Amino acid sequence: MSIYRNAVWFVKGLQEYTKSGYEAAAKHFSPADLDVNLSDRCFMVTGANSGIGKATAQEIAKRGGTVHMVCRNKERAETAKGEIVAQSKNENVHVHIVDMSSARQVWEFAQSFSQNNKLHVLINNAGCMVNQRELTEEGLEKNFATNTLGTYILTTALIPTLKKVEDPRVITVSSGGMLTQKLNVDDLQFEKGTFDGTMAYAQNKRQQVILTERWASQHKEIHFSSMHPGWADTPAVQSSMPSFHAKMQSKLRTEAMGADTVVWLAASPAAVKLPSGQFFQDRKPVATHLPLASSRSSPQEEEKLLTALEEFAQKFKP
Assess contact for 100 and 146: CB atoms under 8 A: yes
**In angstroms, rounded to a whole number, what is the distance separating the alpha carbons of residues 63 and 174?**
24
Which sign does the torsion angle of CA 261, 264, 270, 276 carry? Answer: positive
Is 201 among the catalytic positions? yes
Cα 208-264-41 angle, rounded to 5 deg: 95
For 45, the enclosing helix (H) or strand (E) is strand 42-46
Residue 174 falls in which region: left (phi positive, over 0), alpha (psi -120 to 50) or beta:
beta
Assess contact for 282 and 261: CB atoms under 8 A: yes
**In angstroms, rounded to a whole number, what is the distance separating the alpha carbons of residues 263 and 303?**
30
Which sign does the torsion angle of CA 72, 259, 244, 295 carry? Answer: positive
Q: How many CB atoms lie within 10 A of CB 240?
A: 18
Q: Is 166 helix (H, G, I), strand (E, B) or coil?
A: coil
Catalytic hit among 17, 22, 152, 201: 201
Residue count (the chain): 318
> Which among 237, 226, 170 is positioned nearest to 197, based on CA atoms?
237
Assess contact for 296 and 182: CB atoms under 8 A: yes
Residue 230 CA from chain centroid, whole number: 12
Q: How many CB atoms lie within 10 A of CB 300?
A: 8
Listed in sequence order, the residues at least 6 apart from 106 whose beta carbon sits closer than 8 Å to its beta carbon are 98, 100, 150, 153, 154, 157
User: Mind telling me the catalytic residues?
Assistant: 201
